[in-house]
Amino acid sequence: MLTWYQWLILGVVPPLILSLYFLKLRRVPLEVPSTYLWTKTVEDMHVNSIWQRLRKNLLLWLQLLVVLILMIACLRPGCTGEELAGDRFIFLVDKSASMSATDTKTGITRLEEAKNQIYTLIDRMKSSDAAMVISFSDTEGVDQSYTKNKGTLKRKVKSIEATQQGSDLNRALIAATGLANPGRTSDKFSNTDVQVADALAATMFIFSDGAIKNVSKYAPGELTTIYQPVGAVTPVSNIGITTFSVNDQLDTGGSVEAFVRLQNSGFEPKTVGVSLFIGDQLTDADTVTIPGREISEDNLSLGANDRLADIDQSPPGGLSLKFDLTTVAAVLESAAPIRFKIDEPDEYLLDNEAFCVLNPARLTNILVVTDYNPALKLASSTDRLKKIANIEFAERKFLEDKEYQTNAALGVYDLVIFDQCSPKTMPACNTVFFAALPPGDDWKFTKDLEITPIIYTNSSHPVMFDVQMQSVSILNGQLIEGPKGNTSLVESIDGPVVAIGPRSGFEDIVVGFPMILYEEDGDTPYNTDWHKKPSFPFFMQNIIRTLGSGARFNSLRANRPGNSVKIKPRYPYEEIDVKNPKGRNQSIKQQPNKTFVYNQAEETGIYSVSEKGSKEVDQLFAVNLLDRLESDIAVRDELKLGYEAIKGNPTREPARRDFWTLLAFFALAALTLEWIVYNRRVFI
Amino acid sequence: MANVAPSKKNSSDEPLLSPALLAQLERMELVSRKIFRGRMKGERRSKRKGQSVEFADFRNYVAGDDLRFIDWNMYARLDKLFLKLFMEEEDLHFYTLIDVSPSMQFGSPTKFQYAKQLAGALGYIGLCRADRVKIEALDGSRNSNAPTLRGRSSLWQLVDHLERMESKSTVTMTEAVKAFCLRNTGKGILVLITDLMDKSGYEEALKYLVARDLDIYLIHVLSQEEIDPDINGDLKLVDCEDQDIAEISVSQRLIDRYKQTLASFIEQARDFSSRRGIVYTMTSTERSVDRLVSRYLRQRGLVR
């Protein structure tokens, strides 16, 4: 802004030009026969001759115009809003399942709405601005790295397609912040450390509905984050299926039940019709009312929009349903797809259907290799286990048998328990070792133990569920060191004595102490009193239930769209075909560990697995969205990134658009015109 | 600023009257709308009865009449004396007044040159018809040195007089006309060649002439620069006669307005003239003299 004396100087300029104009003696004398007619002509003009002269003097007006334009330019006129502030932008687009909700003003999907908003932003970019596009769901991808080409940016944005996956912003943020703050890890003051690059400030626009898993760590650095909520402006009522599963018969001792949980993301209770199909057969139907969001007492008095602003304080309402499928499962000959459906369509259709696979009752194949272990035998012979498992006992020499080797290689067993022995090669199944190590260098005994108390049981692991070992005494044992990624299950005062570790798709448990000691004199005393405690049968049952799932491996596991699915067919095929819900086949070759990995489970529905070229279905598996966050389609007003809460719909920093350059250009043009007029003597 | 200053040409290298023009003029005749009494016998019919061969009338003989004009045949028949009257043929006064104010020095050719050419042409017509031709400068002098010429042989005198004429008079038109009227009492045709650019007005002067009961023709000469001025810029116009100054900033609007003023000025002069029986003719110096005489003045009835 100008100070008063600058204003004064500016204000004096136009009168100065005017006075100079009047003072100038530039009239050319011209002798004429008579001024008689001229005098008569200008007679009436004399009355307002000053103004006449001003009116007709193009040069003067041009001079005044130039000064006026320059004065206006000095005021630095500008306007707000149109252009984007900054010169580097990152457009982070949520393409998760909830973005396909159609609760936008124009009825298009949220993703399309977000795309439209990005197009607008791209249009507002200055020609020198660069931007990049990252889309994310469960996974993230840099669709377009930094470019100034608006056409390319728009093309890339257009090519983003909705997925049926959840949303995880973490990795997308890492990608974005990494590009904005490249040199963060380098040490500025170290002589040996070479600076990677200077941090480049950028503005990141997150286009999302806010249904995102909480981001635990977020260090924006030079990144300015702007959250652009996309979706309904009024609370919507979406009924979604957040849980759909068929219980493991191992849990219930033979009865088969399907569990469904419905979620209502609106504030009002809603009644919907639901149907359960087995195959294409309608098996059950009901009409249920799902309560609305819980409204805390503080928010009772608030209006709908205010409640929406505080949406995280009001968890969505839910309703659980249970269907008994025991009789259906009993007569089932092969695996059957189950489909649960909400009859009323709403704005978000993806969560209105869920799938599951109902497997016919099949016993788990378990091999116990032991010379003598009554405790093991006793614990494996309970009625409950007999209903679900076919447990075979064999002596240690059976390991040399060809039958064992064939069965183990083909994956006939679901679980092999080695009691104080170990095979030459690991079988293609889960294993448990008692006082022995799997072949190879992954597992090690590190230290001998004598009479050691158990101080810790990892009860969070399903194998140790309900297993209390604090009162168990162990005479001799060994400390275990497992492969990378192992989990300690039981720890003595010196370290782990039971641990579980991964082995390319399978899991191995190593117990560091024997149940029974084989003494040289043939005596077989117990090394521990574990078998006398209730925790041992529980442990056995957990092992068989958890590691012995066998062919139900896939059908019982919750497969999410976009995740890779590990398939273990019932028979050791070399190659399998996986047919997706749309009927498209894909052939997969066997992995070295006899399993197959399917990476194309992008859509929800039932996938069928069969031997390549065969029409006989080996197994089915379901892919479901079943995501509470995605089903809760209420748009979040606020995005929590680490410790930072980013408010949605922020007042976009008003980008100041200066016009002084334009005005200066006009002034120059006027000056040029004036020069032409002066030299060419152009007159009106 | 490209000022188109009017060229000042006092005399042209070209002859005042070209042989071709003279040949054309010989066939013409000055026409007077009135019949005046001439001084000398000429070629024009006079009001007076005279001695021409053309019979006019009879009248009774009174004592003292010339016996030669008695119609003896009538006396023989009627026994009464009648006098036979014949038509008289007389000469005509033809005056040409040339405005010699400095303003006449403008135009190309100058208005003054143009006026002299025109006066010469008309004078020659008069000489050919044995009229009394007198060309005078409107300089206000009491003793005019302008010769009164008669006969075709006086052409050289006429041209010589015109060539000696100069435009440097500063008297007003009224004064000059007044002086002319005092000097010349004869009746006849008067052609006034002027640009009418007199700030004191031309009306008074014309009134003097009208009072003389002359057959007046007013030829208003304007240069092209006055009719369509080709000027631009901020100008200080200086009057060549009284050094009066008019400051103008030329614009199309001003030019349009000037043209309007000029048109109304011409219209006023025409109106004033026609009300008083003066034949008004406006001409530009661009228009050639022979064209003016042979077409425009013939239309106006001055020549035939």
Separation CA A82–CA A124 (nearest Å): 6
A18 with A164, same domain? no
A55 with A164, same domain? no
| E strand spans, A525-615 | 565-567, 575-579, 585-589, 596-598, 605-611
Segment A288-293 mean pLDDT? 85
Exposure string of A252-268, with b = 16+ CB inside 10 Å and e = fewer, is eeeebbbebbbbbbbbe
Total domains, chain A? 5
A402 with A476, same domain? yes
Comparison of pLDDT for A347 and A38, the residue scoring more: A38
Size of interface A-B (CB pairs under 8 A): 103
pLDDT at A253 over 80: no
Which residue in the set A30, A42, A52 is minimally distant from B5, CB to CB? A30
A312 with A413, same domain? no
pLDDT value of residue B36: 59
A168 with A219, same domain? yes
- Kindly state whether residue A112 falls inside one of the protein's structural domains: yes
Q: How many Cβ atoms from other residues are within 10 Å of residue A455's Cβ?
A: 12
- Kindly state whether residue A610 falls inside one of the protein's structural domains: yes
Q: Domain boundary residue among A487, A517, A548?
A: A548
Q: Is omega for the bond preceding A374 within 30 degrees of 0, making it cis?
A: no
**B247 with A27: Cβ contact below 8 A:** yes
**B237 with A42: Cβ contact below 8 A:** no
pLDDT value of residue B11: 44
CA dihedral A428, A434, A436, A442 (to 10 degrees): 60
Which structure tokens are listed for A322? 């249970």
Separation CA A513–CA A490 (nearest Å): 11
A399 with A537, same domain? yes
Return the percentage of chain A with pLDDT > 70, whole number: 83
- Band of pLDDT at residue A550, cut at 50, 70 and 90: very low
- Kindly state whether residue A300 falls inside one of the protein's structural domains: yes
pLDDT value of residue A509: 93
A508 with A573, same domain? no
For the ranges A156-160, A251-255, A382-386, A512-516, the lowest mean pLDDT is seen at: A251-255
Which of chain B's residues have a Cβ under 8 Å away from the Cβ of A39?
244, 246
- Kindly state whether residue A116 falls inside one of the protein's structural domains: yes
- Pick from A360, A344, A179: which is nearest to A271 by CA? A344
A157 with A286, same domain? no
Segment B164-178 mean pLDDT? 86
Separation CA B165–CA B214 (nearest Å): 24
pLDDT at A428 over 90: no
pLDDT at B237 over 50: yes
Separation CA A1–CA A19 (nearest Å): 28
For residues A620 and A608, is the Cβ–Cβ distance under 8 A?
yes
- Kindly state whether residue A193 falls inside one of the protein's structural domains: no
Segment B151-159 mean pLDDT? 88
Query: Measured between CA atoms, how close is A63 to chain B, in angstroms?
Result: 17
Comparison of pLDDT for A419 and A651, the residue scoring more: A419
Comparison of pLDDT for B257 and A632, the residue scoring more: B257
Cα A112 to Cα A230, A625, A639, distances in angstroms: 10, 21, 20
Q: Domain boundary residue among A548, A575, A596?
A: A548
* Average model confidence (pLDDT) across chain B: 82
The CATH number of the domain holding residue A448 is 3.40.50.880
Whole-complex ipTM: 0.78
The residue written with tokens 């614009």 in the block is B251
pLDDT value of residue A554: 43
Cα A34 to Cα A28, A315, B52, B226, distances in angstroms: 17, 101, 52, 9
pLDDT value of residue A204: 85
pLDDT at B283 over 80: yes
Segments forming the whole domain that contains residue A258: 239-354+627-631
- Pick from A549, A555, A570, A565: which is nearest to A622 by CA? A555
Q: Residues A300-305: contacts with CB within 8 Å, 24+ apart?
A: A304/A234, A304/A235, A304/A267, A305/A234
The CATH number of the domain holding residue A253 is 2.60.40
Which of chain A's residues have a Cβ under 8 Å away from the Cβ of B104?
33
What is the SS3 assignment for B94? strand
**A33 with B195: Cβ contact below 8 A:** yes
The CATH number of the domain holding residue A107 is 3.40.50.410
A495 with A385, same domain? yes
- Kindly state whether residue A344 falls inside one of the protein's structural domains: yes
**A558: contact with B, CB 8 A cutoff:** no
> Chain-centre distance of CA A17, in angstroms?
68
Packing angle between helix A110-124 and helix A150-158, nearest 10 degrees? 180
A120 with A262, same domain? no
pLDDT value of residue A670: 86
pLDDT value of residue A299: 58
Which of chain A's residues have a Cβ under 8 Å away from the Cβ of B8?
none
- Band of pLDDT at residue A130, cut at 50, 70 and 90: confident
pLDDT value of residue A186: 47
Tell me which of B172, B227, B243, B251 to substitute to probe the interface with A (most A C-beta atoms closer than 10 Å).
B251
A648 with A514, same domain? no
Comparison of pLDDT for A353 and A42, the residue scoring more: A353
Domains of chain B: 24-37+94-225+280-300 (3.40.50.410), 42-90 (no CATH)
* Average model confidence (pLDDT) across chain A: 79
pLDDT value of residue A45: 59
Comparison of pLDDT for B79 and A593, the residue scoring more: B79
Q: How many Cβ atoms from other residues are within 10 Å of residue A213's Cβ?
A: 13
pLDDT value of residue A651: 42
Segment A140-145 mean pLDDT? 80
**Those residues with Cβ within 8 angstroms of residue A503's Cβ, 6 or more apart along the chain or in another chain:** A426, A438, A442, A483, A593
- Kindly state whether residue A263 falls inside one of the protein's structural domains: yes
Separation CA A641–CA B71 (nearest Å): 149
**A33 with B223: Cβ contact below 8 A:** yes
Which structure tokens are listed for A65? 């115009």
**B253 with A39: Cβ contact below 8 A:** no
pLDDT at B12 over 60: no
Separation CA B96–CA B133 (nearest Å): 8
Phi-psi domain of A505 (left: phi exceeds 0; alpha: psi -120 through 50; beta: other): left
A654 with A664, same domain? no
- Kindly state whether residue A82 falls inside one of the protein's structural domains: no
Which of chain A's residues have a Cβ under 8 Å away from the Cβ of B237?
29-32, 35, 38
